[in-house]
Homo-oligomer: A and B are copies of this chain.
């Protein structure tokens, strides 16, 4: 169905009419000039927002809309967890061009709803409008936390241990894989189309029929063996479980942020804001087997991918040295180094013992 058939208010009604409200702090969701929230007494409010543009942040030729919606929400929830908070609400603004149908936007929204349900978050408002060219998605997430629980980026202290959750670089390798397979597929299509053109020109009807049947059955890429990399790229999970595990273990990080631009870039932020240096050990950086295998297949240095590949949405945090034992008992958390004096710089210690100054080559959408 074309979106113009429904119009703005019709589309909004269709997308939002079945929205459930899960949080008692959500007093009024979609439908007025503003959403109205009732902050839990004693908590502070956390706000984060981002803007995703088609062609810059996502390529719809290989990114399913439902996954896109899911990921767009997760990226924002991840920022709330990175403050050690609990996400409660989001607003969703969409700009959509004429190429999208009502069903497309419902798919996108279904992915968003799924992410929200998983994290008990309410969609409370937004804006829906048109775009001349691609799609734009802007999400704002609202969360809350007790003042004593909030973790900033500027609290890392000398001798603190540096920890990361999960493993790194897999989302980046998933993206490389998707892009490679898309290029292979495209060049196969192009090749066949060229041959079909020639067959038409020479009037070779038998060849034409063979080629057309080849084109119609051209197989979709086979990703078997690399499912985990795709999942990390297409369906990342914000690490609520880590926040809960830290609370349960009574570990209060001294600094924390989520890894969206790459480990190097995020470490630089924590060091800069905390006025400290760091020493990180290459052999401690957690990697999945598929990440390593894919890097080898593509002739990429896996450490570089883990340091600079973005979109992992894992948590990077520092804890006092005294909590070493407690953190070692946590599942899916690894100590990768420690905090030093600022004057000692930000150092990566390689497997062979050589040392390098860490550089942020994080993904920079403005360069």
Contacts and interface: CB of A to CB of B under 8 A. Distances in A.
B4 A53 contact: no
> How many copies altogether?
2
Nearest to A153: B32
Interface stretch (A91-99, A171-179, A239-247, A343-351): A91-99
A364 interface: yes
A26 to B, nearest CB: 10
- Most B CB contacts (10 A, CB to CB) among A34, A49, A136, A152 go to A34
A136 B136 contact: yes
Interface in A28-50: 28, 31-39, 41, 44-50
Interface in A56-101: 56-57, 79-80, 82-83, 85, 89, 91, 93-96
- Most B CB contacts (10 A, CB to CB) among A6, A82, A124, A365 go to A365
Contacts of A4: 366-367
A48 B33 contact: yes
B7 A83 contact: no
Contacts of A44: 27, 36-39
Contacts of A49: 91, 93, 125-127, 138, 140
A257 B32 contact: yes
Interface of A: 3-4, 6-9, 11, 27-28, 31-39, 41, 44-57, 79-80, 82-83, 85, 89, 91, 93-96, 124-134, 136, 138, 140, 142-143, 147, 150, 152-153, 256-258, 273, 364-367
